[in-house]
Amino acid sequence: MDADVIVVGAGLSGLVAAAELAEAGKQVVVVEQEPEASLGGQAYWSFGGLFLVDSPEQRRLGIRDSADLAWQDWHGTAGFDRPEDYWPEKWARAYVEFAAGEKRSWLRERGMKFFPVVGWAERGGYDAEGPGNSVPRFHIVWGTGPGVLEPFVRRVKQAAHDGRMRFYFRHRVDELIVDAGFVTGVRGTRLEPSEAGRGQPSSRTSSGAFELSAQAVLVTSGGIGGNHELVRANWPERLGAPPEHMITGVPAHVDGRMLGISKLAGAHVINEDRMWHYVEGIKNHSPVWPEHGIRILPGPSSLWLDATGKRLPGPLYPGFDTLGTLAHLRQTGHDHSWFITTTKIVEKEFALSGSEQNPDLTGRNLKSTLGRALPGPTAPVQAFLDRGEDFLRADTLPELVGKMNALAGDLVDPARVEAEVTGRDREIANGFSKDAQVTAIHGARHYIGDRLIRVARPHRLLDPKAGGLIAVRLHVITRKTLGGVETDLDGRVLTPSGDPLPGLYAAGEVAGFGGGGMHGYRSLEGTFLGGCIFSGRQAARGIVRQL
Ligand SMILES: Cc1cc2nc3c(=O)[nH]c(=O)nc-3n(C[C@H](O)[C@H](O)[C@H](O)COP(=O)(O)OP(=O)(O)OC[C@H]3O[C@@H](n4cnc5c(N)ncnc54)[C@H](O)[C@@H]3O)c2cc1C
C-alpha cells in the first residue's frame, strides 16, 4: 500500500479532507494533474462568498435570519422532485444546519474572518416559498478565495512536513482500480513538467504511467465548467438549447473527466443535467485561461434587455434569479443580452467575481476596501470600462444604441430601447411604483448594507447628472456543476443499486457538493465553497470511521 488514503484533486474539498485525514493520523497521498502553482484549484480564484445563517455580521446589520427561514429558502430554490434527490436533500438539510450552527465558529477557529457588510445574492423576487434568499447571507471572507484556502494549505503543508502527506503534482488519474468489487487504488499518466502559472492551461503530454494503492480513494476532482463539450452534452431541455457561444468562468482543469472515470468504476452519477451558469459574463481583457470570462455581481438597478432591446420580464432583474433569467434568454434566439445603465450605477453596483478582481479584499487592505463606500468605481471595474470589449459608453441613447448595433450586429431596435428607458425613467419619480424593479430598488435601500455599498440612489437613466450612459454586452458564462457522484452522508460513493462502492469516496463539486447535488436545481449562492468544506470534512470523518 502506498497510503491509507489517496485524494484525487488538490482543490478546496481535497485539501480540507486531506488536512482532516492527516490530523486523524492517516497517511495521505494527494494526486493532482496540475503543477503545484495551481494548488487550491478554483477556490483560489473565487470571491470567497460564504452562505452563513443568523451570523453576528447579519445581526449587526439588523438582518433577522434563522435556520427555518434558510431551509424555506433552500427548499424553494432547490425544487427537489426526483427519487434520486434522497441523498441530495439529506445533504442539503445537514448543510443548512451546519451554516446556521457550527460553520462560522469552526472557520473562525481556523483563522477565517469576514467582511462586515453581508451581500444579498439571488434575491428571488417570487413568493415566500419560491426561490431566492429572503435576506442577505453572502459573507465575504477577508482575503477572498486565497483567504478561504489559507488555513487548509497551512495544514496540509504542515502534514507534508511531518511526513503524513505526499503530493504528486502532474499526475493525472485515468482509472480507478477495482479489485473484487473494492476500489483499491488509481492508475494514470505522469504529465510532463509544466511551467504554467496558476490557472493557465498546462500540457497534457505524457512522460510515463503510474499506479498507487490505498485502503480508500477520495475523489475531489471538481465539476465540468471548463469543458464546453460536456456542458452542452448535459444541457437540460428546460433551459432551451445550449448557447452557441459561451465564455468560461473556471480554469481548463475543471474538465469533468473524473465523473466518467468514476462511473466506469461503478459509481452512480446523478442529476447531470443540473448546472449553474451565469448570465452576466463579460470577456476578460486579460485572460488567464481560454475564453476567460468574469461574472458581474450586479446590484438591482440596471435595465436588463434581451439582444433585440426588449426588457426582461419581472422578476428577472439583475441579481434576482440566475437560472430563471438563463431559461428566459434561451427562448430569445440569441446568446447575449444587455445591461443599460449609468456611470453612477456602475460605480456603486458593479462588483466583479474573482479574487484577482478584488485586490482590496484579497489583499486585506482595510483602507482601500473602505474606499468602496466613496464615489467612483473600483480599479478593476474602471479597467473594464476602459478596456473591456463588452463595455460601451455614450452621452445619448441613440448614440449608445448605434454602438450596440455596431458591436453585436443590427439586432437592437432603437425605438424599443427608447420606450423601455423612458418608461422606466417615468416610474423613478415616485418612491412607490407599479414597476416591480423600481419598487425592489427602493426596498433594497432599506437594508443598510445595500444602501452603503451596493444600491445606487434611484435616478433616471437619462439624468444628465448620472455621468453618462453605459451598455454592457452580457454572455453566458459557465461555472458550476450541481449534479455529480451520489454519496451518503459519510461521503461513501453509491452504486446505481444504492449500495456503497467499497473503498470509494467523493466530495466537493464532483459530488454535487454532497449527495450528488445538494443544491437541487438552483443555488442560494455562496454555497459552493462551504459545500466543499462541509463535504470534504464529512468524507474525511467517514473514512476515518471506516478504516
Ligand atoms: C471565479 C470564481 C468565483 C467563485 N466564487 C465563489 C464564491 O464566492 N462562493 C462560492 O461558494 N463558490 C465560488 N466559486 C466556486 C468554488 O470556488 C468551487 O465550486 C470550488 O472551489 C470547487 O472546489 P473542488 O475542490 O470541488 O474542485 P476544484 O477546485 O475544481 O479542484 C479539483 C482539482 O482536481 C484536479 N483534478 C481533476 N481531475 C483530475 C484527475 N483526473 N487527476 C488528478 N487531478 C485531477 C484538478 O486539476 C483540480 O485541481 C467560484 C469559482 C470561481 C472559478
Statement to judge: residues 212 and 330 lie in one domain? no
Nearest atom in ligand 1 to the alpha carbon of residue 508 is 26
Residue 103 has pLDDT above 90, yes or no: yes
297 in ligand 1 pocket by Cβ < 6 Å? Answer: no
Mean pLDDT, rounded, for 152-165: 98
Residue 431 has pLDDT above 90, yes or no: no
134 in ligand 1 pocket by Cβ < 6 Å? Answer: no
pLDDT in tens, 265-277: 999 999 999 999 9
What is the structure's pLDDT at 94? 98
Angle at 440 between CA 435 and CA 444, to 5 degrees: 155
CA of 164 to the centre of ligand 1 (A): 24
34 in ligand 1 pocket by Cβ < 6 Å? Answer: yes
What is the structure's pLDDT at 188? 98
Residue 236 lies in a domain: no
Statement to judge: residues 469 and 492 lie in one domain? no
Instruction: Point out the domain boundary residue: 419, 452, 477.
Output: 477
**Beta strands in 110-250, from DSSP E residues, in sequence order:** 138-140, 165-169, 171-179, 182-191, 206-219, 247-248
Statement to judge: residues 405 and 327 lie in one domain? yes
Q: Could you tell which of 6, 46, 477, 482 is best to mutate to test the pocket of ligand 1, judged by most ligand atoms within 8 Å of the CB?
A: 46
pLDDT in tens, 474-489: 999 999 999 999 999 9
224 in ligand 1 pocket by Cβ < 6 Å? Answer: no
Statement to judge: residues 471 and 366 lie in one domain? yes
How much is the CA Rg of the chain, to the nearest whole Å? 23
Residue 227 lies in a domain: no
Nearest atom in ligand 1 to the alpha carbon of residue 42 is 29
What DSSP designation does 357 have?
G
User: The CATH number of the domain where 497 resides is what?
Assistant: 3.50.50.60
356 in ligand 1 pocket by Cβ < 6 Å? Answer: no
76 in ligand 1 pocket by Cβ < 6 Å? Answer: no
Statement to judge: residues 301 and 175 lie in one domain? no
CA of 41 to the centre of ligand 1 (A): 5
CA of 44 to the centre of ligand 1 (A): 8
148 in ligand 1 pocket by Cβ < 6 Å? Answer: no
Mean pLDDT, rounded, for 349-356: 96
Residue 523 has pLDDT above 90, yes or no: yes
Statement to judge: residues 458 and 516 lie in one domain? no
Residue 242 lies in a domain: no
What is the structure's pLDDT at 373? 83
Residue 522 has pLDDT above 90, yes or no: yes
CA of 476 to the centre of ligand 1 (A): 19
Residue 374 has pLDDT above 90, yes or no: no
Residue 254's alpha-carbon distances to 230, 289, 409, 426, in angstroms, are 11, 11, 32, 46
38 CB neighbour count, 10 Å cutoff = 24
Statement to judge: residues 468 and 505 lie in one domain? no
Statement to judge: residues 177 and 36 lie in one domain? yes
The mean pLDDT value of the chain amounts to 97
Instruction: Point out the domain boundary residue: 457, 477, 497.
Output: 477
Statement to judge: residues 47 and 178 lie in one domain? yes
514 in ligand 1 pocket by Cβ < 6 Å? Answer: no
Residue 394 lies in a domain: yes
Mean pLDDT, rounded, for 86-102: 98
DSSP secondary structure string, 80-119?
--SGGGHHHHHHHHHHHHHHHTHHHHHHHHTT--B-SSPB
509 in ligand 1 pocket by Cβ < 6 Å? Answer: yes
Nearest atom in ligand 1 to the alpha carbon of residue 31 is 43
230 in ligand 1 pocket by Cβ < 6 Å? Answer: no
481 in ligand 1 pocket by Cβ < 6 Å? Answer: no
Nearest to 98 by CA among 51, 146, 64: 51
In the chain, the percentage of residues whose pLDDT exceeds 90 is 98
Residue 206 has pLDDT above 90, yes or no: yes
250 in ligand 1 pocket by Cβ < 6 Å? Answer: yes
Nearest atom in ligand 1 to the alpha carbon of residue 41 is 29
Shortest-distance Cα residue to atom 4 of ligand 1: 46
Statement to judge: residues 433 and 312 lie in one domain? yes
Nearest atom in ligand 1 to the alpha carbon of residue 510 is 26
Q: pTM for the whole thing?
A: 0.97
Residue 355's alpha-carbon distances to 44, 137, 195, 474, in angstroms, are 7, 19, 22, 21
CA of 340 to the centre of ligand 1 (A): 32
Statement to judge: residues 142 and 163 lie in one domain? yes
pLDDT band at 509 (very low <50, low <70, confident <90, very high): very high
pLDDT band at 67 (very low <50, low <70, confident <90, very high): very high
Distance CA 355, CA 415 (A): 40
57 in ligand 1 pocket by Cβ < 6 Å? Answer: no
In one-letter notation, the amino acid at residue 310 is: K
pLDDT in tens, 276-327: 999 999 999 999 999 999 999 999 999 999 999 999 999 999 999 999 999 9
CA of 206 to the centre of ligand 1 (A): 24
Residue 144 lies in a domain: yes
Statement to judge: residues 358 and 504 lie in one domain? no
In terms of residue numbers, what domain contains 11? 3-221+256-274+482-546
CA of 529 to the centre of ligand 1 (A): 9
Mean pLDDT, rounded, for 523-535: 98
In the chain, the percentage of residues whose pLDDT exceeds 70 is 100
22 in ligand 1 pocket by Cβ < 6 Å? Answer: no
Residue 235 lies in a domain: no
524 in ligand 1 pocket by Cβ < 6 Å? Answer: no
353 in ligand 1 pocket by Cβ < 6 Å? Answer: yes
45 in ligand 1 pocket by Cβ < 6 Å? Answer: yes
202 in ligand 1 pocket by Cβ < 6 Å? Answer: no
Instruction: Point out the domain boundary residue: 429, 447, 477.
Output: 477
Residue 243 lies in a domain: no
Distance CA 474, CA 277 (A): 13
47 in ligand 1 pocket by Cβ < 6 Å? Answer: yes
Mean pLDDT, rounded, for 133-137: 98
pLDDT in tens, 6-62: 999 999 999 999 999 999 999 999 999 999 999 999 999 999 999 999 999 999 999
CA of 202 to the centre of ligand 1 (A): 16
Total tally of structural domains belonging to the chain: 2
Mean pLDDT, rounded, for 193-214: 98
> Is 515 exposed, middle or buried, given 0-12, 13-18 or 19+ CB atoms closer than 10 A?
buried
What is the structure's pLDDT at 372? 85
Q: Where are the alpha helices (DSSP H) in 409-505?
A: 414-428, 436-444, 448-453
357 in ligand 1 pocket by Cβ < 6 Å? Answer: no
Quote the distance between the C-alpha of residue 324 and its chain's center. 16
Residue 148 lies in a domain: yes
User: The CATH number of the domain where 303 resides is what?
Assistant: 3.90.700.10
